[in-house]
């Protein structure tokens, strides 16, 4: 048996679809001296790839997942292992039909051929389906099946043939050695390998391997049940592996996929059956394979009945027997996204929690990322750096995946909140918020008030101006109170809890150089200045946008959104220069926003500090003393706004935050001020000002120029992405971020509808638009602009449409609504000259 | 032919197709990873029970002694054609072969006095976990019936003297055929019949059949087992037949020896 080599540039652990794709792409990008290990034999080492049902549906509501899937399909086609069958998602209920119309929106937005079809259309293509069970279907002709084992073999053997790869099967990894924060060596039962790079790509076993290096890879092995029924006489004599479209029976969380003369029925309807990676049997202990566990019939029985309902003649045919039934293991994560990228251990990467439909796309993205620091498809939502501490607990993964498993085929509202494992992080003023009737959303584990029921009286006061939504879907996870709070902020002021911000300090002799080379904006500014800045990758795509305060000659404070905070912290930490340290401050510093025309009066009445425009100008920060019931507290006040009003972000020590909160509310009360939720901060206030948000308008596939955020000058100092940014400034943009308003909300049924984001932008008569990247425009943010009385949409449009006044349409639930382009750069629709912020 | 009532007795056992592990107390085989099943002998017994009963319009009843989990094995037998089920509820490892024989006999007698006759009782030749080889004979003795052990097929034939069970099995001298009057007991060894898989409608029907639940008639005396131990692992003997296309003839030879390829037939 082959021993392992003593050294390698890169060790890839795992020879499933992900590991095989990865070694192929690394070799293609010029990597040599790669060693690939697997505990099992080739070509099927016994992981999840080996028992995958291998079909690929194309449309996901996530652009990132869809792009990885489309790239994977292209690769499978090139390898000659893709068979197009077409696929239906069938609806048994009207509620599901509405969800399928949403799928149509996503299909149009991501450029996938699809249509809504009748039960008769389905039965024509799948004659053994009982059309009376369904009300309609979403049809994607491009759906198909792949041979993932064959694909992996071709890719692996290609890398071997190129002289780039040595593959060693039947070898077990027993340890990972980390020295000085870097991966040094992989220990195996057949010898040690010194390595510069190690990639954990071993699916359900990844957490166990990650633990060997102290790296949390928070996925859980979970059971997906599958049976195969046959031989079915109706399928006998069909040529090849598949000749009928695959049917996803969405309301019963089942699928039916023909495989030769057999029909496979898979289920996501049973209880979540999770496993610890350590409890997966060994190859020797397994009857079939370690990831094909004994079938538990009682879990499957209800689905069997529903499948039989849909295809009685086929599944009940004479001679058709349940010939194969497994509890197959696959990987699930707390947020449904894969786990990719470099861990906090330098050189130790992961490509885990990936399904067959994303495998080759992930292999390419991670290989590009390892090679050049960025990938063509932005995989930020899958970055391993995204996890907060509370998410690294196995218990969190267990609870969240238990909750989400049943939603695999579920109807999930874009703003839907998890119920399990909440209350992980609470702001110091949580008790007060709860008393005020806060409706909490979760961000990065923090409980954040999205609106306050105590402000319900304002809804009555403002009447129709709160833009009430009559359709249940549009108003789910929403309240007209948000818009009422917004109007009150514009009229008086609002107090907003922003404690979820991620805050970290960069200090030391190298602090200036460190932030200079990470940020686009000029950071060599006077102490006491506040800087808003994009952060780019080497390709000039957005890594983030955030604010930096210069608190001293050698002291900067970075403030960024909670959701993306850990990734930003890792990015800054990776780019420290010279003598510089990064100190996490998130759990020491609470943040309260105070904005509105009365903000200055309120703050002035609580402090002796000069808070006039001259004494405390825009984009400046300094410490002030603020009076509270318990005495004066020290507050770092920063004159900045994300909602387009005069005001401050007030940073305060955790122990003083509740007192400051109470003082602001008590004083504000006399000015008509109210506590306000993130609904105002994150959506209504922001969208009226056209402010962009990372993860919505800004991502690694967008440039500063396309986002309309370029400044007249570029600083002389070098920074990551500078060359790319300079080039972007010279070229004409291929797409332009625009602000649009909806002109008529009335649907065919007469009910007014309000878009929520993600919808395609089309021509007035429903024609497709395509930008210079080949992408189709879609709504990146949608929200009420109560001060304008309009529903506002942000979307990247092709340059030809990016003209004020262009009349287009937005498609929502398969109906067209007229929209008009109102802004083609960062100019705000509300208070465009920013008078109110002075 | 008059209808023949068949009782088939099954036991929930760990699936020991692969590496066997024992429970910590050494009293049983650990099936948590491998899963549970009925033994291959019993799967064949169930198939024969369904064939014999079905062929004569009789009832095929499946019986087990075990805890609540053992219902799974009853349902599996119902899914492939058994029409009734009896569950003697008890901790399976507490029952020795004599206990099991007594409980089965009690079921047969009670059913008979209620008008349900089990003319033929089928059992597996031996249990996959404990391997005691005793229950069939003890049961026959309890019931005063003739018994044949290790048959691979059974059939019931009508004769002028009444129905006769024909049991065929492999003996030391070759094939042995036994003919016995009913009622009788036969223990089945796998290999004579191909057990069917459940169909979807069969599985759905099985869920709806009520299961008779009963308590043991006496406190079990147990098997007096001290503990089980695993034999030393047998070293795996891997023989490399060759590499690449040149290895093909050697592979064909092996497949022919296994009987999965017929010599001389060339694929089109």
pLDDT in tens, A759-809: 999 999 999 999 999 999 999 999 999 999 999 999 999 999 999 999 999
Give the span between the Cα atoms of A167 and B44, in whole angstroms: 44
Backbone phi, psi, residue B185, to 5°: -125, 135
Those residues whose C-beta lies under 8 Å from the C-beta of residue A417, and which sit 6 or more positions away, are: A441, A442, A477
- Rounded distance between C-alpha atoms, residue A769 and residue A774, angstroms: 9
What are the two backbone dihedrals, phi and then psi, of residue B226, each rounded to the nearest 5 degrees? -80, -65
Token pair 């003697």 is found at B88
* Cβ contact, residue pair B72, A298, below 8 Å: yes
Put simply, whether A293 touches B (Cβ < 8 Å) is yes
Dump strand ranges (E) for A453-512: 494-497, 502-507
Is residue B264 very low, low, confident or very high in pLDDT (cuts 50, 70, 90)? low
**Residue B193, helix vs strand vs coil:** coil
Q: Do A322 and B75 touch (CB under 8 A)?
A: no
Taking the Cβ of residue B170 and every Cβ of chain A, the question of whether any pair is shorter than 8 Å is answered with no
- Residue B267 pLDDT > 60, yes or no? no
Length of chain A: 838
* Chain Cα centroid distance, residue B51: 14
Beta bridge pairs of residue B123: B9, B187
Q: Which two tokens stand for residue A100?
A: 């399928």
CB contact under 8 A, A307 and B200: yes
Contact criterion met (CB below 8 Å) for B151 and B166:
no
Is A545 annotated as catalytic?
A: yes
Report which of residues A668 and B42 the model is more confident about: B42
What residue ranges of chain A have pLDDT lower than 50?
1
Closest CA to A74 of A112, A107, A108: A112
| Contact predicate A799/A736, CB 8 Å | yes
**Is A224 noted as a catalytic residue in this protein?**
yes
Residues linked to residue A536 through DSSP beta bridges, in sequence order? A542
Give the domain ranges of chain B. 6-214, 238-268
Phi and psi at A651, nearest 5°, equal -95, 130
Contact with chain B for residue A285, Cβ under 8 A: yes
- Which residue in this structure is represented by tokens 């697997």? A38
Residue B78, both tokens: 């119902």
What stretch of H or E contains A184?
A: strand A182-188
> Is the pTM above the cut of 0.90?
yes
Annotated catalytic residue within A24, A25, A51, A224: A224
CB-based burial of residue B22 (10 Å sphere; 0-12 exposed, 13-18 middle, 19+ buried)?
middle
> Is residue B194 within 8 angstroms of chain A, CB to CB?
no
When scoring A254, A304, A314, A326 by the number of chain B Cβ atoms within 10 A, the one with the most, hence best to mutate, is A304
Is A322 within 8 Å of B21 when comparing Cβ atoms?
no
Asked if B200's CB is within 8 angstroms of A308's CB, the reply is yes
Contact A125, A86 (CB under 8 A): yes
Residues β-bridged to residue A746: A752
Q: Are A830 and A644 in contact (CB under 8 A)?
A: yes
Gap between the Cα atoms of A75 and A150, Å rounded: 13
Q: What is the CA radius of gyration of chain B?
A: 21
Can you tell me the mean pLDDT for B201-216? 95
The minimal CB distance from A285 to the residues B18, B72, B207 is found for: B18
CB A108 within 8 A of CB A61: no
Chain A residue closest in CA terms to B19: A285
Q: Terminal CA-to-CA distance of chain B, rounded, Å?
A: 47
Torsion of Cα atoms, B55 then B59 then B65 then B66, to 10°: 90
What residues does A785 pair with on adjacent strands? Answer: A790
Query: CA of A41, closest CA in chain B: separation in Å?
Result: 14
CB-count exposure of residue A791 (10 Å: 0-12, 13-18, 19+): buried
| Beta-carbon contacts of residue A163 (< 8 Å; ≥ 6 apart) | A32
> What's the rounded Cα separation, in Å, for the pair B55 and B52?
5
Query: Do A294 and B36 lie within an 8 Å CB cutoff?
Result: yes
Residues 308-337 of A with CB under 8 A from B: 308, 315-316, 320-323
Which residue in A784, A775, A797, A789 sits closest to A757, CA to CA? A784
pLDDT at A768: 97
Other C-beta atoms lying within 10 Å of the C-beta of residue B110: 14
pLDDT tier, B243 (very low <50, low <70, confident <90, very high otherwise): confident
Alpha carbon distance A617, A638 (integer Å): 10
Write the residue in A281, A305, A323 that is nearest to B33 by C-beta: A281
B189 touches chain A (CB under 8 A): no
Query: How many other C-beta atoms lie within 10 A of the C-beta of residue A812?
Result: 24
pLDDT band at B268 (very low <50, low <70, confident <90, very high): very low
DSSP code for A792: E
Q: Is B205 on the interface with A (CB under 8 A)?
A: no
Residue B200 and residue A294: Cβ atoms within 8 Å? no
> Nearest-CA neighbor of B110 among B156, B74, B143?
B143
As for the ipTM of the complex, it is 0.82
- For A318, the closest chain B residue by CA position comes to B199
pLDDT computed for residue B265 by the predictor: 54
Quick one: fold of B6-214?
Rossmann fold (3.40.50)
C-beta of residue B223 within 8 angstroms of C-beta of residue B97? yes
User: Who contacts A476 (Cβ-Cβ below 8 Å, separation ≥6)?
Assistant: A413, A415
Cβ contact, residue pair A229, B200, below 8 Å: yes
Question: Quick check: A126 and A137 in contact, CB under 8 A?
Answer: no
Owner of token pair 């993600």: A758
Question: Per the residue annotation, which of A197, A255, A452, A556 is the catalytic one?
Answer: A255
For the CA atoms of B67, B69, B75, B76, the dihedral, rounded to the nearest 10 degrees, stands at -110
- The structure tokens 């002799």 sit at A509
β-sheet bridge partners, residue A816: A811
**In the predicted structure, residue B233 carries a pLDDT above the cut 80:** no
User: Is B15–A294 a contact, with Cβ atoms under 8 angstroms apart?
Assistant: yes
Minimal Cβ distance to A287: which of B18, B75, B76: B18
Residues of A in contact with B13 (CB under 8 A): none
Measure the CA–CA gap between A294 and A277, rounded to whole angstroms: 16
How far, CA to CA in Å, does A453 sit from each of A485, A490, A593, A667? 10, 19, 19, 20
- Round to whole Å and give the CA distance between B208 and A465: 59
Residue A197 CA to residue B59 CA, distance in Å, equals 67
Window 201-260 of A: residues touching B by CB (8 A cutoff) are 229
Render pLDDT for A95-130 as a digit per residue (tens, 0 to 9). 999 999 999 999 999 999 999 999 999 999 999 999
Taking the mean position of all CA atoms in its chain, how far away is CA A134? 32
Q: Is the pLDDT confidence value at B15 over 70?
A: yes
Q: Are the CB atoms for A351 and A340 separated by under 8 Å?
A: yes
Could you list the beta-strand ranges (E) of chain B: 6-10, 13-14, 36-37, 60-66, 84-89, 120-124, 147-151, 153-159, 162-171, 174-181, 184-188, 211-214
Distance CA A739, CA A756 (A): 15
A284 touches chain B (CB under 8 A): yes
B177 contacts chain A (CB < 8 A): no
Give the helix ranges, DSSP H, for chain B: 40-55, 71-79, 97-113, 135-143, 200-208, 248-258
With contact defined as beta carbons under 8 Å apart, do A536 and A724 qualify? Answer: yes
Cβ–Cβ below 8 Å for A297 and B203: yes
The pLDDT > 70 percentage for chain B reads 96
Query: DSSP 3-state helix, strand, coil percentages of chain A (rounded to 5)?
Result: 30, 30, 40
Given the residues A38, A505, A545, A656, the one annotated as active site: A545
* Structure tokens belonging to residue A793: 């949409």
Of A284, A285, A316, Cβ closest to residue B201: A316
Q: Which chain B residues contact residue A305 at CB under 8 A? A: 204
Domains plus CATH for chain A? 7-208+219-333 (3.30.9.10), 502-584 (3.30.70.1400), 732-838 (2.40.30.110)
Contact criterion met (CB < 8 Å) for B200 and A298: no
Query: What per-residue confidence (pLDDT) applies to A431?
Result: 97
CB atoms within 10 A of CB A453: 12
């Amino acid at each position: 048996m082959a021993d392992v080599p003593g050294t390698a540039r890169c060790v890839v652990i795992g020879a499933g679809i992900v590991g095989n794709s990865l070694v192929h792409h690394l070799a293609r990008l010029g990597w040599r001296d790669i060693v690939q290990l697997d505990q099992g034999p080739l070509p099927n080492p016994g992981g999840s790839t080996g028992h995958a049902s291998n079909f690929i549906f194309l449309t996901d509501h996530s652009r990132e997942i869809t792009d990885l899937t489309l790239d994977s399909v292209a690769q499978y086609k090139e390898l000659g292992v893709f068979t197009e069958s077409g696929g239906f998602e069938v609806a048994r209920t009207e509620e599901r039909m509405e969800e399928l119309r949403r799928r149509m929106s996503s299909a149009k937005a991501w450029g996938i051929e699809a249509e809504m079809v009748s039960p008769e259309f389905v039965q024509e293509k799948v004659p053994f389906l009982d059309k009376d069970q369904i009300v309609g279907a979403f049809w994607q002709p491009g759906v198909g099946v792949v041979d993932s084992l064959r694909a992996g073999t071709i890719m692996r053997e290609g890398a071997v043939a190129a002289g780039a790869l040595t593959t060693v099967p039947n070898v077990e990894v027993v340890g990972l050695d980390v020295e000085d924060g870097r991966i040094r060596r992989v220990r195996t039962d057949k010898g040690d390998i010194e390595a510069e790079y190690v990639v954990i790509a071993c699916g359900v076993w990844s957490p166990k391997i990650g633990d060997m290096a102290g790296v949390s890879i928070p996925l859980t092995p979970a059971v997906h049940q599958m049976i195969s029924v046959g031989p079915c006489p109706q399928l006998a004599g069909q040529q090849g592996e598949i000749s009928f479209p695959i049917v996803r029976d969405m309301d019963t969380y089942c699928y039916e996929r023909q495989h030769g003369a057999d029909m496979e029925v898979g289920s996501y309807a049973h209880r979540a059956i999770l496993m610890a990676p350590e409890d997966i049997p060994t190859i020797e202990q397994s009857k079939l394979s370690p990831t094909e566990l004994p079938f538990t019939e009682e879990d499957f029985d209800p689905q069997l009945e529903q499948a039989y309902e849909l295809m009685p003649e086929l599944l009940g045919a004479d001679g058709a027997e349940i010939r194969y039934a497994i509890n197959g293991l696959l990987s699930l994560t707390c947020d449904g996204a894969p786990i990719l990228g470099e861990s906090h251990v330098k050189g130790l990467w992961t490509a885990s929690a990936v399904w067959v439909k994303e495998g080759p796309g992930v292999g390419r993205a991670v290989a590009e990322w390892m090679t050049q620091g960025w990938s063509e498809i932005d995989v930020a939502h899958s970055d391993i750096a995204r996890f907060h501490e509370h998410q690294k607990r196995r218990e969190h993964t267990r609870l969240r995946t238990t909750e989400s498993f049943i939603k695999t085929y579920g109807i999930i509202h874009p703003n839907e909140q998890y119920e399990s494992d909440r209350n992980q992080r609470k702001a110091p003023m949580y008790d007060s918020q709860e008393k005020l009737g806060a409706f909490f959303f979760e961000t990065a584990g923090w409980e954040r008030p999205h609106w306050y029921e105590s402000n319900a009286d304002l809804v009555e006061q403002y009447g129709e101006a709160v833009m009430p939504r009559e359709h249940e879907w549009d108003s789910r996870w929403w309240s007209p109170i948000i818009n009422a709070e917004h109007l009150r902020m514009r009229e008086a002021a609002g107090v907003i809890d922003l404690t979820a911000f991620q805050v970290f300090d960069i200090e030391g002799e190298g602090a200036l150089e460190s932030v200079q080379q990470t940020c686009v904006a000029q950071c060599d500014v006077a102490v006491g200045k506040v800087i808003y800045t994009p952060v780019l990758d080497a390709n000039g795509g957005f890594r983030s946008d955030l604010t930096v305060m210069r608190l001293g000659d050698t002291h900067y404070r970075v403030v960024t959104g909670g959701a993306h905070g850990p990734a930003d912290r890792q990015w800054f930490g990776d780019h420290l220069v010279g003598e510089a340290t990064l100190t996490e401050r998130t759990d020491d510093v609470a943040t309260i926003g105070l904005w509105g025309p009365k903000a200055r009066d309120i703050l002035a009445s609580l402090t002796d500090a000069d808070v006039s425009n001259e004494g405390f100008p825009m984009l400046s920060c300094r410490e002030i003393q603020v009076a509270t019931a318990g005495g004066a507290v020290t507050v770092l006040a920063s004159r900045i706004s994300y909602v387009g009003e005069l005001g401050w972000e007030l940073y305060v020590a955790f122990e003083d935050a509740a007192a400051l909160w109470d003082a602001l509310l008590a004083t504000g009360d006399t000015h008509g001020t109210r506590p306000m939720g993130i609904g105002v901060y994150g959506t209504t206030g922001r969208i009226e000002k056209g402010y962009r948000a990372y993860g919505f308008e800004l991502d690694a596939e967008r440039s500063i120029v396309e986002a309309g955020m370029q400044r007249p000058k570029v600083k002389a100092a070098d920074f990551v992405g500078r060359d790319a940014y300079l080039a972007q400034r010279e070229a004409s943009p291929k797409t332009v971020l625009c602000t649009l308003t909806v002109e008529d909300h009335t649907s065919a049924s007469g009910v007014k509808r309000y878009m929520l984001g993600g919808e395609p932008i089309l021509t007035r008569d429903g024609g497709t638009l395509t930008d210079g990247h080949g992408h189709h425009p879609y709504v990146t943010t949608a929200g009420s602009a109560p001060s304008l009385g309009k529903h506002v949409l942000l979307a990247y449009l092709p340059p030809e449409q990016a003209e004020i006044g262009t009349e287009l349409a937005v498609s929502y639930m398969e109906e067209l609504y007229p929209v008009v382009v109102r802004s083609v750069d960062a100019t705000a629709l509300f208070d465009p000259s920013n008078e109110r912020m002075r | 032919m008059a209808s023949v009532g068949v009782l088939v007795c099954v036991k929930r056992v760990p699936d020991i197709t692969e590496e066997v592990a024992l429970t910590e107390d050494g009293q049983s085989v650990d099936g948590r990873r491998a899963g549970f099943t009925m033994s291959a002998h019993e799967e064949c017994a169930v198939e024969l029970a369904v064939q014999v009963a079905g062929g004569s319009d009789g009832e095929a009843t499946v019986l087990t002694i075990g805890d609540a989990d053992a219902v799974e094995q009853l349902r599996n037998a119902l899914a492939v054609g058994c029409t009734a089920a009896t569950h003697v509820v008890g901790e399976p490892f507490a029952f020795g072969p004599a206990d099991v024989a007594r409980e089965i006999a009690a079921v047969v007698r009670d059913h008979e006095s209620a008008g349900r006759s089990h003319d033929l009782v089928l059992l597996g030749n031996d249990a996959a976990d404990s391997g005691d080889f005793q229950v069939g004979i003890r049961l026959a003795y309890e019931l005063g019936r003739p018994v044949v052990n290790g048959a691979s097929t059974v059939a019931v034939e009508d004769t002028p003297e009444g129905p006769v069970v024909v049991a065929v099995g492999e003996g030391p001298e070759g094939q042995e055929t036994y003919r016995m009057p009913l009622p009788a007991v036969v223990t089945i060894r796998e290999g004579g019949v191909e057990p069917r898989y459940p169909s979807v409608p069969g599985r759905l029907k099985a869920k709806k059949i009520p299961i008779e639940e009963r308590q043991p008639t006496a406190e079990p005396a147990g098997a007096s087992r001290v503990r089980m131990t695993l034999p030393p692992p047998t070293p795996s003997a891997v023989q490399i037949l060759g590499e690449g296309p040149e290895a093909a003839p050697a592979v064909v030879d092996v497949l022919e020896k296994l009987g999965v390829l017929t010599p001389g037939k060339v694929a089109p």
